[in-house]
Amino acid sequence: MPVALALYTFCPMPTIDQHKLGTFCWIELSTTDQEGAKGFYESLFGWTTKDNPAGPNSIYTMFRLGGRDIGGGITLRAELLAAGVPPHWAIYVQVDNADAAAARAAAAGGKILAPAFDILDAGRMSVIQDPTGAVFCIWQPNKSKGIQVAGEPGSLCWADLNTHDPERAQEFYADVFGWTFEADKLSAPPSGYVQVKNGGQFIGGIPRLPRSAQIPPHWMVYFLVSDLDASAALAKQLGATFCMEPTVIQKVGRFAILVDPQGAVFAIFEPLPTTR
């Protein structure tokens, strides 16, 4: 868990008009109960929602915070459920050319699950599995620029790549996005946690999954909250369960890992109140 998260404050940030290349620009919930999930996250984070047609018998939900886009949600397709894909939060990385980025990912050892394709006039995307098994998306924006707010409770503040092979993951993401990496130096004994930097900015981390852990590699999103205990209690009241109860990160803050009522895993984070 990251030292860099201690930098977050609750000062409202201006609308994000454009994301830097290589940063996390969108998050998307795939779920088995779209209406139920909408109610859960609306109640937990104060989001509002707007539904848009997304093809035959499909609706895409825009999650919004303070009138600005924060992410999306959709019902898992039958073929994905049949293939064993669970409810989950997906993360998108900004690129300037989805086709070229997908080609770099393939050359670096990734598997292209969905070749680059257009989402109407919103943008162009591809779905990729990294060499360690974690799935993510890339986004080439057109009319849809992605997340429009950061630094406010309820917004995305971090993402962790949970993998059994952090070394291979670092090689891959460095080749594809130019990310650099910095080991956590504050933990004693050393935790092995590695922080991800994009153009000098900390954006996420890579904890090592134990080989014995029966957990597939995955990206996990973190949402900023102003009162972790209150948010955790509310989430539990709304039907969430805990993978990790509220936990202290020395000199950084506190976090918890939850499973929403439909089965998607996410984390919440409260920074130390004195950090600025």
Q: What is the pLDDT of residue 14?
A: 55
Domains identified in the chain, total number = 1
Q: What sign for the dihedral angle of Cα 216, 58, 92, 115?
A: positive
Reported as a single tens digit per residue, the pLDDT across 42-81 is: 999 999 999 998 877 889 999 999 999 999 999 999 999 9
- Residue 38 corresponds to which tokens in the numbers above? 């909408």
For residue 78, give every residue at least 6 positions away whose Cβ sits within 8 Å of its Cβ, in sequence order, or none.
none
Find the domain containing 120 and state its range: 1-276
Q: With contact defined as beta carbons under 8 Å apart, do 25 and 155 qualify? A: no
Q: What is the pLDDT of residue 254?
A: 95
What CATH number has the domain bearing residue 183?
3.10.180.10
Q: What is the pLDDT of residue 143?
A: 92
Q: What is the pLDDT of residue 59?
A: 94
Give the number of C-alpha atoms closer than 13 A to the C-alpha of residue 161, restricted to the C-beta side.
28
Q: What is the pLDDT of residue 192?
A: 81
Give CA torsion, residues 258, 264, 265, 269, to 10 deg.
-60
Task: Count H helices and E strands in the chain, helices first.
Answer: 5, 16
Q: What is the pLDDT of residue 213?
A: 73
Q: What is the pLDDT of residue 62?
A: 97
Name the stretches of the chain with pLDDT < 70. 1-14, 185-191, 274-276
For residue 85, give every residue at least 6 positions away whose Cβ sits within 8 Å of its Cβ, in sequence order, or none.
30, 76
How many CB atoms are located within 10 Å of the residue 101 CB?
24
